[in-house]
Every structure is written in structure tokens, then in C-alpha cells.
Structure 1
């Protein structure tokens, strides 16, 4: 038996892929502790894990970020990005205090959310004085930050170098603060960018297919990368089928559109333009609002709407998924061989859109929103070119033949010969 500590930010898109690992580890007889926010403690306790709350000053409610994070309301664009990233760094000492209390009880392996920045402090400690630390790759692997598709073009390489330099300049005050925090807490001086810390871990468990992640130079990412595929499930036990479910009878292509579980305050960014743009197209549009206000006076007759739907039932009957680029949702679609229109520019969504285009599984558009005309053109492009579906199905096959959950557990907690 191993003792495993899981550190995960209290956000649905982070908890969703982590919970199946916790369940499998407990089922295999390992002792599992989880540090997360108050909203998700019961999720892990119900799986048999010991739970520890984040300190209140660094906890938040992912369904009400502006209300639960003081100073966030009213910010947008680069100011919001800087605020959120700074908040991650400010949480480091509070997170580390709880982590170290648990490590003192005896921990063999730490599984750490890449945005749980106490992970940076852990991996910079001498290996002999800390447990094995594995990064949970339910975000696109960004190291070296920001990551770009491979290219042989000198012009593109020069452009990428310029963008990387600008990104590092934007991050400079945040990086300095994180490095100062590491030095204060551990005595270690480092030039590591805080969001690159998974590259220095003992391994990255990346929740995707081999065909959806860029090849890496070991000099940039010395940590072993284990491509384990998506683990999140979404079944009828969580979300019931709506009364109109039988309309998905295969007589028309099904286009699913979603803005994910968080970015639903303004469904005019993607849902409304897609619904409007496809109103006269012979498809059935299935939209999930995740509780957000749709804001349309009238729905076209080819549209069906629900707050949530069970993806393991919906995705097998979809022909295209239009998404704002959540990494988990995109990989869930790829598990079922569904090609994508990916539209996003905030957080990591620009990087997910780039991977969608690079991997050939759909159309990636690095914008915050689309016009109805552009949405229609993108969907018709994917529907009209079977190469996108073939490529998505190739990645589905990679996921299907990838490691099982039991094999991932064995990777996390390898058995040792007692002799």
C-alpha cells in the first residue's frame, strides 16, 4: 500500500478528471488524502479519501468566482489575467502549509494540479527530502511557456521567440514573486517560471492522446510525460436525458455547442452566434448552457437546449462539437472521435485551439467570440471534410489503446519487491 496525496484546485474542470484517479487508487487499496476547496470535499470523501480543506483565504467557489474572490469583480482582459495569476502565486505559502502537515504524516506520492503552485516549491526541494511529485496534466502542457506547434520555418520560429519573450515580460512580476516565495520557504534560488514547474516534476500524467500533444525536447521538459488519455466520465447518473432526446435519431447531423462549465455569464460569445448561424442549416443544434442565460428571444426550430447533458451519451451521436476550448471537454470529444470547432482566447484556450488545428481534428480559432456567419462557415467546413472526422477517430483509437486506469494506478504506485 502507498500513501498518496492529491492537491487539486476547487474547480469542476480540475476535480472532474482527478476524481476517477482517486477512486481507482482507493479501490486498489492505497491510502488517499485530498487537499481541495470546501465545495468539493464531499466529492472525494464519498470516494473513500481523507479530505483536507484549503485555508479559507485561498479557497474559492468556481460557480461564483467574482463573489468568492475579493477584488476580482469588474476586471477583464489582461488585468483579469494578471490578477488571477497573481492569486495563484499568493496561495503558495498557505497551500504548502497544509501540504507539509500531510507529508509529515508519511506520504509516498503527491499528485499535484499544475495551478496548485505549492507544487513548484515541492519539486525544487532535494529529491531525498520529499515524496515523488507527479503533475496532473488536465491542462495543456505549456512548458516551455508558452508552447508552440513544431515548425521548420525560420520566420515562424522568430515569431514564436518574440511571443515567448513578450509573455515572459508580462509574467515577470508574477514570476519574481513566486521565486521570492520559493526562496523564503525552501531557501532555494531558482529561475523557474512558476507555471513551468511540471517540467521539473518526477513525471507528468497528461490526460490526452499522443496525437494531441506536441513532441518535446527533453532539455525543455526533463520530466517523463505519460499520455494517459482523458479519465472524466459524464453519465445519466449525473445528468438525466431531456424529453427531446429521441430527436437525436440520426436523420440530421448533430452539432453540439458549449462554453464549458465556467464561462457562461455571456453566452453571446459562442452559443448564441452558433445557434443563429446554423438556424437555416440542415443540422440539429444541441446547446448546453450550464445554467447561463442564453438571451435569445426565440430559438430556431432546429435547436435543443439543456443546462447539462451526459457526454457519454451525447458525444457518440455528435458529428461536430463547437467549444470554447476547455482541455477536458475537448479530450472527452476526442475519446468519442468527434471533430471540433474550437473558439477561445482566454486562460489556456488559445493553446487548446492551436492543438486542434495542429493535430488535424478540427478548426481552431484563437478568438474570444465569433460572428454567426463565421460560426456557420467553421461548422460547415468540418462537416464537409471527412479528414477531420478520420483524424479525430485516429486519436480516439489512440485513447482506446492507451493505458487503463489500473495501469495508471500502477504507474503512480509501482509495486516493489520486498526482498
Structure 2
């Protein structure tokens, strides 16, 4: 038996894969604790892990971030991304260290396992002196010496001109990361750690073990990945939620699913234009609002549409012909695990990167905006449904993810690491 502390930033899309790995470790007889926000206590305990709450760290509501982080009021796009990085993923690191250091004092662990979004795991491992593995639950954004910087959603250049573009963009990273790196330096100084020459984009990664969700086909096939990186496919099952009352309407119908995830859930961004675009389609259009308790939208929906707050995607996607999504990584991996092609409208945070990777893998279409016009959604749907190559490629990626081993492979690698 090994002792693990797992940590996850308190977002549904972060906690779900980390809790799934926790459950696999518990089932093998390991002692597992999971440190995250109080909203996820039940989910952590359902996995069999011991729950460790954010106490000193500000315990926030993922669907009302401005209530805890007021600089986010009215912010979207790049401004939202930068404040998220500074206030959520960096500035909370000292308080997270206080919480985790207190837990270490009560009972040490053999290995720390953390998602890659926050500065906190690196300062925890450095301050306490424990082995640390990264569980990459977002599209892999390890810095590479080939291709463009991660986050832009650009395909790596293959010809000389494209490679020159990529090199020029990589050279801009220090200048573009200055604000983030200064925030990281302030957090390290507040903890009493020495300065580091590594930027934030390197500090969030363990140099010992990285387990990445997904498969190489969704990584632009970059060749210079480190030896301590292991691809493990899909890590989390979709949430178990009851069938909505209209579930029998799916029987005998062609189905298109529209989902906008659980962050930035303004339905005007994607749900409204998608429902408008597909109002005359002979398919049943199934849309998730992404907000617990809100099964209906605030505007009239067409006769061929059905809505629910949350949906059992692992039951729904096998019945769908296509998924229209905002590009949340968890939802994309779920759709591809069932061999379903995608139309991706990725507007902010990591979503443009996800959209670019799906497009480059040949498993879907990138609309290149998070707020598409109905005509663009219609064109994307027609293109994907009209070309069987998209479905073929999605099925190939599904097979690759299954072969990667999922949570059981991740648990095996973590047990070996802890020993």
C-alpha cells in the first residue's frame, strides 16, 4: 500500500479526472486523500478517498468566480485568462501550501499527484520535499522546441516558412509571459522560496512523472516529448445524472448534441446560434445548459430541441451522430472515446487549443470562434456529417484512447512511482 495526496483545482473538469484516478488507487488498496474545494466533498468521498478541503485557500464557486475574485467582473477572453492565471492559479498557491503543509504534519504521504493548472503543486513539492507527479487533465501544454507555443491552437509548421513562424512565436514566450512570471515570483517570495529561472509554463510540470490525458494524435504529433511522459487516454467517466423526462424522444431519431460545458455558460455564445442553425433539421437536437438546476433556457427553443441542465453523456453520445461543443477537454475526450466527430466553437481559455487539435487530428471542424453565427454552425455540421472521414478518424482515436489504459494505467504508473 502506498500513501497519496492528490490535489485538484476546484473545477468540475479538473476534479472529475483526478477523482477517477483516486478511485482506481483506492480500489487497489492504497491510502488516498484528495485536496480540493468543499463543493466536491461528496464526489471525492464517493471515489473512496479521504476529503481534504480548502481552508486557508479561498474556497470558491466555479460558476460565480467574480464573487471570490472580483477582478474577473465583466471579463472574458484574454483578459479573463490572464486574471484567472494570476488570481486563481498563482496567487492562491501560498494558502494552498498552508493547507497541505498542515495535512503533511498530521500524516505524510509517499507521493503528491496534482493537476497542471496551478503553481501550488510545485511549491508544495519543493517546500515539503516530497515526490511529485503531474496528472495532465487539460490538453498537454508542455513547452516544446518544435511547433508554435501551446494555447494558440495552431498546427506546427511543416515547410520552412511555417517552421520559421513557430520559432518566432516561441521566442516571444518570455515577453508575453512576463506578467504571469512576475505573479509567480511574488507567490514564491511570499512562501520564502528562492528565485527560479523557470517560467510559470515550466514550473507547473513535474520533472519526475507526467501522465497526460488523451493520445498523441491530439498533441499535433510533436516528437520531442520527454521520457517521463505517459499518455493514458481518457481518465474520467461522464457524470452519472438521471435521464430527463424527454429521454424516450431519442428513440428512432438521428441525434445532434450541443454542449457549452460548465464554464462561461452564457447560452448566447453557442447554444442559441446552434439551436437556431439546426431548427429545421430532421435530427433531434439535445442541448445541455451546463448549470445545475436550470433545465430550460431563457429563450424559446425550436420544436426539434430538448434541453437539460446536465446529461449522461456516456449514454447519450453513443446515440448521437455528432457533437457540437465549446471545446471543453473533458467533453471532447468523452465524445471521441465513443467515436463521435465534433464541431468545435472554442472561444477562450484552453478552448481554441482544443479546437485546433481536433481539427488537426481530422476528427472534427474548428469554427475558430466561441460565438459562431448560425450559418457557421450549419456549415460545420453539414461538412462533418457529409464527409465520413471525420467519423472514421474519431473511431480511430477512440481505439487509441482505449489502448492507452485510462485510470488503471494511470494507477499502475503512480504505484510504481510511489514505490
Give the TM-score of the pair, scaled to structure 1.
0.90
What corresponds to 2:238 in structure 1? 234
Q: Equivalent residues in 2 for 1:24-43 (5 A)?
A: 24-43=24-43
Structure with the bigger RCO (C-alpha within 8 Å, sep 6+) is 2
Cα 1:161–1:366 shift into 2, 3 Å: farther
User: Distance in 1 between the 2:245 and 2:373 partners?
Assistant: 30
Q: Equivalent residues in 2 for 1:121-200 (5 A)?
A: 121-122=123-124, 130-144=129-143, 145-146=149-150, 148-166=154-172, 168-182=174-188, 185=191, 187-200=193-206
User: Distance in 2 between the 1:43 and 1:193 partners?
Assistant: 33
What corresponds to 1:310 in structure 2? 312
Q: CA deviation at 1:165?
A: 4.8
Cα 1:196–1:349 shift into 2, 3 Å: farther
Report whether the alignment pairs 1:97 with 2:98.
yes
User: Distance in 1 between the 2:297 and 2:168 partners?
Assistant: 39
2:401 aligned residue (385, 399, 402): 399
**CA RMSD in angstroms, aligned pairs only:** 2.4
Secondary structure at the residue paired with 1:116?
A: coil
Secondary structure at the residue paired with 1:396?
A: helix
1:371 aligned residue (358, 370, 373): 373
User: Distance in 1 between the 2:199 and 2:368 partners?
Assistant: 24
Report whether the alignment pairs 1:116 with 2:118.
yes
What corresponds to 2:360 in structure 1? 358
What corresponds to 1:255 in structure 2? 256
Report whether the alignment pairs 1:67 with 2:67.
yes
Q: CA deviation at 1:230?
A: 1.3
Q: CA deviation at 1:318?
A: 0.8
- CA deviations 1:32-65 (Å, max 9, x no partner) are 1111112112321343322222235532111221
User: Distance in 1 between the 2:34 and 2:341 partners?
Assistant: 35
- CA deviations 1:242-262 (Å, max 9, x no partner) are 23222223443x110010012
Q: CA deviation at 1:363?
A: 0.5
Secondary structure at the residue paired with 1:40?
A: helix
User: Distance in 1 between the 2:110 and 2:387 partners?
Assistant: 49
Cα 1:234–1:184 shift into 2, 3 Å: closer
User: Distance in 1 between the 2:96 and 2:223 partners?
Assistant: 31
What corresponds to 2:345 in structure 1? 343
User: Distance in 1 between the 2:135 and 2:52 partners?
Assistant: 19
The gaps in structure 1 that reach 5 residues or longer are none
- CA deviations 1:318-350 (Å, max 9, x no partner) are 111000000010001111000000111211001
Q: CA deviation at 1:18?
A: 1.4
Contact 2:241–2:312, Cα closer than 8 Å, also in 1: yes
- CA deviations 1:154-185 (Å, max 9, x no partner) are 32233334444555433312212313433564
The gaps in structure 2 that reach 5 residues or longer are 144-148
Report whether the alignment pairs 1:212 with 2:214.
no
Aligned residues: 407
User: Distance in 2 between the 1:85 and 1:406 partners?
Assistant: 31
Give the TM-score of the pair, scaled to structure 2.
0.90
User: Distance in 1 between the 2:418 and 2:5 partners?
Assistant: 19
User: Distance in 2 between the 1:356 and 1:416 partners?
Assistant: 34
User: Distance in 1 between the 2:156 and 2:281 partners?
Assistant: 36
Cα 1:188–1:200 shift into 2, 3 Å: farther
Cα 1:180–1:263 shift into 2, 3 Å: closer
User: Distance in 1 between the 2:222 and 2:192 partners?
Assistant: 29
Secondary structure at the residue paired with 2:95?
A: helix
User: Distance in 1 between the 2:43 and 2:315 partners?
Assistant: 22
User: Distance in 1 between the 2:134 and 2:227 partners?
Assistant: 10
1:331 aligned residue (330, 333, 357): 333
